[in-house]
Amino acid sequence: MENLLKLCLFLLCFETALTLQCVLCKSYKNRKCVDGNQTCTAQPNEVCIIRRTWYASDYENLQSAESGCNESCELDEEFSDGLTIHTQCCNDEDFCNDINSPIMMS
């Protein structure tokens, strides 16, 4: 019985070590999450995502952003009505979609 308990504990620790943690925020204001810091655990086939929006070439002056876990994500940059909408995906480390992470231009 003791060995079974140890095995279960080991498997639980092993699974926790392999899960990807992402920043979860539906809306940022002044580079801070409006609803406070939250996290999500990426499920199998999910990655961390962050989508940032800014005016034209003024990428340092963020207009809006959102982050979380998502199954369908593609590095993308769209231009619409003077706005740039940049979507970035990552799964290389926990919280790789932090608002302060560098923007990888496509």
**Model pLDDT, residue 15:** 46
**Model pLDDT, residue 88:** 96
DSSP states of 39-100 = EEEEPTT-EEEEEEEEETT-TTSEEEEEEEEESS---EEEEETTEEEEEEEE-SSTTTT-TT
**Model pLDDT, residue 1:** 63
Topology of the domain comprising 2-90: CD59 (2.10.60)
pTM for this entry: 0.78
Q: Where are the domains of the chain?
A: 2-90
Predicted confidence pLDDT, tens digits, the chain (106 residues): 676 555 545 554 444 457 999 999 999 988 899 999 899 999 999 999 999 999 977 767 888 999 999 999 999 999 988 999 999 999 999 999 999 998 877 5
